[in-house]
Amino acid sequence: MDIFANLWLGFTVAGTFYNLFYCLVGVFLGTAIGVLPGLGPVATIAMLLPITFGLPPESALIMLAGIYYGAQYGGSTTAILVNLPGEPSSVVTALDGYQMARQGHAGRALSTAAIGSFIAGTISTILIAVFAPALAAVALQFGPAEYFSLMALGLIASIVMASGPLLHALGMILVGLLLGMAGTDVNSAVPRYTFGMPLLSDGLDFVVIAMGVFGLGEIIANLEDEADRSVMTKRVTGLMPSKEDWKRIIAPILRGTALGSLLGILPGGGAALASFGSYSLEKKLAKHPEEFGKGAIEGVAGPESANNAGAQTSFIPMLTLGLPSNSVMALMIGAMIIQGIQPGPSVMTEQPTLFWGLIASMWIGNAMLLVLNLPLIGLWVRMIAIPYNFLFPIIIVFCAIGVFSVNNNAFDVYMMAIFGVVGYVFRKLDAEPAPMLLAFILGPMMEEFLRRALLFSKGDPSVLVTRPVSAGLLIVAAVLLVAVLLPSVRKGREKAFQEE
Amino acid sequence: MTQIRGQKDLGIGVIYLALGLAGFIIARDYSFGTSGRMGPGYFPTIISGLLILFGIIAMLRGLMREGQPIGSLNWKGMALITLSVCAFGYLLETAGVIVALLALILISAAASERFRFELRAALGLVAFIIVCAVVFIKGLGVPMPLIGEWFK
């Protein structure tokens, strides 16, 4: 089978000392920022992007990917020990995990989360290896009309996941598209929205926007209410789950993996939605649903597996279609572009070492996390105890130096400051900035594909709906949009976000 | 003044409308082209037009429907964080990275309610700046002057 040869290639790439080292750095950093509430993978990856410029593309992406799925592990630690989700995807873990910790079962909860995540990571890595080539083969047949529709679908799907009113999220997409227009138009060489500033002729740097909106904007929001954190400082003991526990958690882990893998592939899906879905699924299926919220081990096993599976499979559309399904994937695409790789279906054939190396590294990274995480629990607990008022100036320092080093230019630093305020204000108005960042990255590509599609059809826009695949994608987008507007779905969506 | 019912909707509507109008007016300088041959103004004009539409809908919704109040804005945080980052940008090339980091950290830290002078924090600050200077300038080769023109 081809797939084994490919995976073998991947392991030879990911298994070199150099790449193992960057994988370890990635998962370690990822866990650390996952543990810390108020610092997410988006801001961290944006901060570290400039540092990866000098690395080979494989090592750069392996490290950045490690940060993302490492953060899923770390987030659960904080959720269980402090009842404070380190990441949005571990919100539901806090419900039962913290109760378990209060009853003295913190060790079992932590190990359940880690084991569930590892099993989910293993299965979803295999899924990526099986399905990604097939999807890439399909995508190679795509013309510009299909790509345009695919991106439109991606954008619509991203707002399904965004919290806040639908209208606000749709507007954020348009704002992102408009921001993406700034800079020199590739076809006519006309500078657009540069306000006569030569520094803007290359357009806005997405690192600047990401760090401003997700780094600084979030800090300003976090400073609004500086709550005290009380850590469960009791010694964490009894790490291994008992035989009885294994029986209880194995089914939720597998169900969570299946659900998470599925939701992760969908644009706009990813980890957070997966964990919410898995929690309600387990609660429905449980023999004793009344235990949920009071320390049910299933309520930790399912969502933790689901969020890790979702985090992994969200790489599929990014790697095969060049389509980011969430902000982290948008940053990964940016990292590829910086490395001189054109994202899309050709990555697999033209950069097989990168493609398979990254996939293999995910499994290695998950194994590292399993081994690393439990013995290092003491270190993570101490990290949670760092007060936010010491932490956030450090984050700002990394943001500022990171943004400066992109172009070695103070102008970018000022722009980041502006986007910090922009991100904060949008957040206050219930307009989530994630769809904006996606649209910003996709905008120039969408324009180019639309231009080409219309050029071939001699200006007839019906080409988007007469080609079957393109029409199908647009129909899915329309159905999604209508579905979100339906009262019953809307209520469920609002409820899911209220729990955050 | 009567109380506006949907403050968040109205607020975001105003922003969308303003951005859309600005985008639309500026895009009039770029040739629109035809559908078959999209000019540089084609896509931005459509986007801006939609943004204007969404802005108006959001504003109307904000005026007519019950919504949530915006709540108090963290003005102090916004001002100090912005100031600290801008100060860093300005001081980096003029006064050097040490002064710039000092300004960045002290100004931004003042945005916290718990900001006060502590010997341990001050020592940590000095240590952190040294680590940053070593890691970023020596280790990663970011071209930042240690001591800027002002002191030469």
**A395 to chain B: closest CA residue:** B105
- Report the gap between the CA of A56 and the closest CA in chain B (Å): 15
> Is the pLDDT score of A340 beyond 70?
yes
Residues 6 or more apart whose CB falls under 8 angstroms from that of B105 comprise: A393, A396, A397, B84, B125, B128, B129
Would you tell me how many other CB atoms lie within 10 Å of the CB of residue B123? Answer: 10
> Is the pLDDT score of A125 beyond 70?
yes
**A9-27 pLDDT, tens per residue?**
888 888 899 999 999 999 9
Among A192, A413, A460, select the one facing B88 at the smallest CB separation: A413
Q: Taking CB atoms and an 8 Å limit, are A429 and B23 in contact across chains?
A: no
Among B8, B27, B31, select the one facing A429 at the smallest CB separation: B8
Q: Taking CB atoms and an 8 Å limit, are B74 and A430 in contact across chains?
A: no
pTM of the model: 0.83
Instruction: Name the DSSP letter for residue A183.
Output: E
- Cα separation, A155 vs B111, in Å, equals 35
Q: Residue A284, SS3?
A: helix
- Cα separation, A370 vs A372, in Å, equals 6
**DSSP codes joined into one string, A400-447:** HHHHHHHHT-HHHHHHHHHHHHHHHHHHHTT--SHHHHHHHHHHHHHH
| Among A289-298, B54-63, B136-145, the least confident range | B136-145
Cβ atoms of A434 and A326 within 8 Å: the answer is yes
Residues 6 or more apart whose CB falls under 8 angstroms from that of A168 comprise: A429, A430, A431, A432, B8, B9, B12, B58
> Is the pLDDT score of A418 beyond 80?
yes
Nearest Cα to A335, choosing from A317, A321, A325, A322? A322
Work out the mean pLDDT of chain A and round it to a whole number.
83
- Report the gap between the CA of A484 and the closest CA in chain B (Å): 17
pLDDT class of A425 with cuts at 50, 70, 90: very high
- What would the mean pLDDT of A372-379 be, rounded to a whole number? 79
What was the pLDDT predicted at A21? 93
- Cα separation, A388 vs A222, in Å, equals 9
Sign of CA dihedral A105, A107, A109, A111: negative
Q: Taking CB atoms and an 8 Å limit, are B35 and A461 in contact across chains?
A: yes
Residues 351-390 of A with CB under 8 A from B: 387-390
- Report the gap between the CA of B136 and the closest CA in chain A (Å): 8
> Is the pLDDT score of A500 beyond 50?
no
- Cα separation, A70 vs A85, in Å, equals 15
What was the pLDDT predicted at A499? 45
Q: Which of B54, B56, B98, B120 to mutate to test the interface with A (most CBs of A within 10 A)?
A: B54
- Report the gap between the CA of B87 and the closest CA in chain A (Å): 9
Would you tell me how many other CB atoms lie within 10 Å of the CB of residue B57? Answer: 17
Q: Which of A170, A178, A389 to mutate to test the interface with B (most CBs of B within 10 A)?
A: A178
Q: Taking CB atoms and an 8 Å limit, are B85 and A171 in contact across chains?
A: no
Residues 6 or more apart whose CB falls under 8 angstroms from that of B8 comprise: A168, A428, A429, A430, B62, B67, B68, B69, B70
Q: Which of B34, B43, B59 to mutate to test the interface with A (most CBs of A within 10 A)?
A: B43
Nearest Cα to A477, choosing from A172, A149, A228? A149
pLDDT class of A371 with cuts at 50, 70, 90: confident
Copy the structure tokens of residue A399.
Answer: 């943001």
Q: Taking CB atoms and an 8 Å limit, are A410 and B92 in contact across chains?
A: yes
Interface confidence: ipTM more than 0.85: yes
**B90-139 pLDDT, tens per residue?**
998 888 888 899 999 989 988 887 777 778 888 888 888 888 888 888 77
| Among A20-24, A314-318, A457-461, B113-117, the least confident range | B113-117
> Is the pLDDT score of A401 beyond 80?
yes
On chain A, the residues whose CB falls within 8 A of the CB of B121 are 390
CA distances from A460 to A51, A253, A443, A489, B39 (A): 45, 50, 21, 35, 15
What was the pLDDT predicted at A48? 81
Q: Give how far the C-alpha of residue B90 lies from the chain's centroid of Cα atoms, to the nearest Å.
A: 16
| Among A11-15, A202-206, A249-253, the least confident range | A202-206
Nearest Cα to A434, choosing from A230, A209, A142, A238? A209
Instruction: Name the DSSP letter for residue B33.
Output: B
**A65-87 pLDDT, tens per residue?**
999 888 888 888 888 887 776 66
> Is the pLDDT score of A414 beyond 90?
yes
